[in-house]
Amino acid sequence: MNHERSSILFQQAKTSIPGGVNSPVRAFKSVGADPLFIKKASGSHIHDEDGNVFIDYVGSWGPMIAGHCHPDIIAAVQDTMVSGASFGAPTERETILANLVIDAVPSIEMVRMVSSGTEATMSAIRLARGYTGRDKIMKFSGCYHGHADSLLVKAGSGAATFGVPDSPGVPADVARLTLTAEYNSLDSVRSLVAAHKNSIACIIVEPVAGNMGTVPPREGFLEGLREICTNEGIILIFDEVMSGFRVAYGGAQALFGVTPDMTTLGKIIGGGLPVGAFGGKRDIMEKLSPSGGIYQAGTLSGNPLAMSAGIATLNILKQPGFYKALEEKSRTVADGIAKAARDAGYPIYATRVGSMFCAFFTSGEVFDWSTASRCDTKAFAKYFLAMLDEGVYLAPSQFETAFISAAHTESDIEKTIAAAAKCFKQIS
């Protein structure tokens, strides 16, 4: 498969843009290849600058659940554009999208729009700290919540319960306020809560982890977090930037029946345009400026184009049967890939929640970061490149999630499974 033009464009990009990309994971570093430069997309397919066509399982990392270039979304954005892209003033569209989100997501009584998932989680944490008067926060190893300083933190070594920076530029004094527990381990949460009694403002968790590969919550994990937070006066934040409107119209909280105090959203609610949001109980949200004293703001927050794309997207998703059809496609492709691996005698641990799925290159169960990090990332890289040659575009990292859209067809799924069968044999 010829990637000549993409490679030329990548060399050019690297002179102007750090690493040649505007977000690191796009650089294909963990699979040891130059990234493809994408020219256009339609439905379930993306086309690169060399004229190659791929079945797309990245979907812009989640937003494109309705498929690329959905006519309703194109029309909505075009209609809005001719009336004005941005005013820096309130518009009715913001209230329309807010009410769609409020009607869909069990925990949300009020919601504030921002322009990215990072802004949503950063703002939600500040709101939780301001509401509780507490400074510490808790996250989980392997969960990613965007790149705000407080969230680029990893567990301290050994008995140290305080966090340490996970990136240069994050001050140690900021990191030490972030505690890190283990996903699916309520014991690790309880011991940190006991060690930091009455000083933890919030626990932020991906209710379906999607940033260490796809790791579902074990039975009782989310319910346990809810109970601990209720008993300890800790704000429970579900980071549903990825799972929101993805695993169900009401997100993972609707799917699993556990209601957090706050929820962060992004990706799908922008339909491909830059949108994030954070919402929750009225008495928490009203503490936000200008109704309350906790400051948060954004020039392009609630941008009319993004609101229109989000409204059009959610109107597609709320159609009867949308998620049932997506579930059937997702089950078929994920089970087909897992069977292809078994038939090739290649050990993978397959996971799926709705239209989020993943093949971990390990034979053992994966339920947290320590088990996910045992994967054979070199083998994954070989599989990724082999699938690319077969016209299947997966996320370029073992520690990401594959997404299916409503635009994926039976033929796409058959081709994907056949490609996987060939590639697992090839790398065995």
Catalytic residues: 144, 239, 267
As measured in angstroms, the least distance from the Cβ of 156 to ligand KE4 is 23
- CB of 148 vs ligand KE4, minimal distance in Å: 9
Cα–chain-centroid distance for residue 317? Answer: 18
- Report the residue closest to ligand KE4, judged by CB: 117
Whether 7 contacts 354, CB under 8 Å: no
Given candidates 30, 52, 107, 121, which one binds ligand KE4 under the rule CB under 6 A? 121
Q: Which is nearer to ligand KE4, 258 or 340 (CB)?
A: 258
Residue carrying structure tokens 């004005």 = 84
Residue 230 CA neighbour count, 13 Å, CB half: 9
Question: Please, which residues have CB within 8 angstroms of residue 422's CB and are 6 or more apart in sequence?
Answer: 386, 390
61 binds ligand KE4 (CB under 6 A): yes
Residue whose CB is less far from ligand KE4, 48 or 240: 240
Residue 242 engages ligand KE4 in binding (rule: CB under 6 A)? yes
Is residue 413 left, alpha or beta, with left meaning phi > 0 and alpha meaning psi from -120 to 50?
Answer: alpha
Binders of ligand KE4 in range 146-165 (CB under 6 A): 146
x/- letters, 196..235, toward ligand KE4 (CB under 6 A)? ----------x---xx------------------------
Residue length of the chain: 428
Task: For Cα atoms 54, 56, 58, give the angle at the middle one, nearest 5 degrees.
Answer: 140
Sole binder of ligand KE4 in the list 76, 114, 235, 241 (CB under 6 A): 241
Comparing C-alpha atoms, which of 82, 120, 89 is closest to residue 308?
82
Quick one: which of 57, 61, 78, 82 has its CA closest to 69? 78
Contacts of residue 59, Cβ cutoff 8 Å, sequence gap at least 6: 65, 68, 403, 404, 405
Residue 105 interacts with ligand KE4 (CB under 6 A): yes or no: no
CB of 426 to ligand KE4, least distance (A): 27
Contact pick of 35, 59, 67, 117 for ligand KE4 (by CB under 6 A):
117
Binding footprint of ligand KE4 on the chain (CB under 6 A) = 23, 25, 61, 116-118, 121, 144-146, 206, 210-211, 239, 241-242, 266, 276, 400
